Amino acid sequence: MGDALRIENLTFTYAGADAPSLRDVSLRVASGQLVVLAGASGCGKTTLTRVISGLIPAFFEGELTGSATVGALNVIEAESWDTARQVGTVFQNPRTQFFTTDTASELAFGCENLGLPPDETRRRVADAVAAHNLAGLMDRSVFALSGGEKQRLACGAVAAMETPVLVLDEPSANLDARSVGELHAAIAHWLALGRTLIVAEHRLSYLRELVDAVFIMEDGRIISRLTGDQFRSLDKPACNEMGLRSPVPVPLPKQRTGDAASAELELSDVLVRRRRPAVPGRPLVKGRVTTLDIERCGFNAGAVTAVVGQNGAGKTTLANVLAGLGPRQRGVMTLEGVPISWRQRWSRCYLVQQDVSHQLFTESAEREVMLACPHGTVDPQAMAAEALAQVNLTAFSTRHPLSLSAGQRQRLAIACALASGRPVAVFDEPTSGLDLHQMQAIAVALRRLADQGRVVLVITHDAELITAVADEVVELVHGRVAGTNAHLVKTGR
């Protein structure tokens, strides 16, 4: 069995960067193996996947030395179309790799660009749909998919290309527990077909039984290599000491129904229905689909409430209802017994979106927090300094927000929520793609918000975050609160 991937003495510095993102990296991966790249956010994992997939130097400028070959192909010097026949890639943000507007076309796009005959393309798409349980996503607009559904679609599109090497960058970041199980099955299927996989990942438990080697990175270097057996022998404390997430699945805390009568924030008779999205090239299907249907649900101030559920269950729709975003829908929201109109919600609720980069507008972290301060604040600069100190970002106050790491951007958004003074704060997947220490930092910041008496809702699939900080859990199933349309209470923290 030969090497599917060989990297030797690789160093790369992005154009304009002060320091290298990769430093003298060398590794070999045998054909048919699953190798995991682990380590703290910003350690160089994504940069290494970009080299393997040929995106560096083709699309990212910088200074590159060393060599990288996939099979017999030098991916540093090869043309992009040649690399695409050898390496399939799923980006950390799958939305950035979509080229079409409907799911069926997206699954076929890569095959069509490889110049495959139509019959072969149809066969591969059908195989990908069957192998990755994508039938429920077919004939839909890609814009109507949830974050997790987009991630599943991207995996299916790459699988259809049938490349010998697959590179996955945080493929489980936005997936619910069931979809993570399906991803595990898909990876096992690929390995059975003899494909080679390189997976950059923080959530390691679902790969535990499949992995052949784990390369741990720090500051652009590979600092440790574990065989699959060595990794499987690690317990949770040992992994945590190395800065890694739990090596075994963390179950969600048990839920039980409770009384919402005393909740500070209540929703009642909420119904959100949307038009069926048009799919290009197909007849328009009339009618509407229900995305949220809640008779009554309450959320307590001074508590962190985790909102869980499968991808597409209505969690982000719930966040938008609380924040007064999107078209007005039926339903009543009360805060401390006072009805809150749709427009009033804009000033009562601070929403941090799934991709926080979309809501950062200024040229420094300090100014970003000042922008969030209530109108008429006497000394917004002092308030911003206090909020940044509470999330340990004082040293980054003059940095451009988009130059911060993913975890730092999330903490900056929490600083904005702190400074905003709004009584309700909602976070949509705040720890997606974050390492153990950054997840713990987010948990501390969320607790600080709750301790100020805010209503704090966290939409998440991250069981470790829920265990660390959540006081209460609400589960949505097909837009409804699981069990009853009542409050689901208490994790036992």
Average pLDDT by consecutive 10-residue portion of the chain (493 residues)?
Answer: 90 91 96 95 90 94 95 94 93 85 93 93 93 87 84 91 94 84 90 95 93 96 95 90 86 54 84 72 63 91 92 90 86 93 93 87 95 92 93 91 83 91 93 86 90 94 91 90 52 51
- pLDDT computed for residue 486 by the predictor: 40
- pLDDT computed for residue 279 by the predictor: 57
Write out the two tokens for 225: 């290599």
Write out the two tokens for 29: 């991966």
- Between β-strands 73-74 and 62-70, what pairing exists: parallel, antiparallel or unpaired? antiparallel
- pLDDT computed for residue 289 by the predictor: 78
Write out the two tokens for 62: 């910088």
- Between β-strands 213-218 and 221-227, what pairing exists: parallel, antiparallel or unpaired? antiparallel
Q: Which domains does the chain have, with CATH numbers?
A: 3-241 (3.40.50.300), 256-489 (3.40.50.300)
Is the bond into 57 cis (omega within 30 degrees of 0)? Answer: yes
- pLDDT computed for residue 45 by the predictor: 93
- pLDDT computed for residue 367 by the predictor: 96
- pLDDT computed for residue 262 by the predictor: 61
* Run of H or E including 317: helix 315-323
Under DSSP, the state recorded for 39 is E
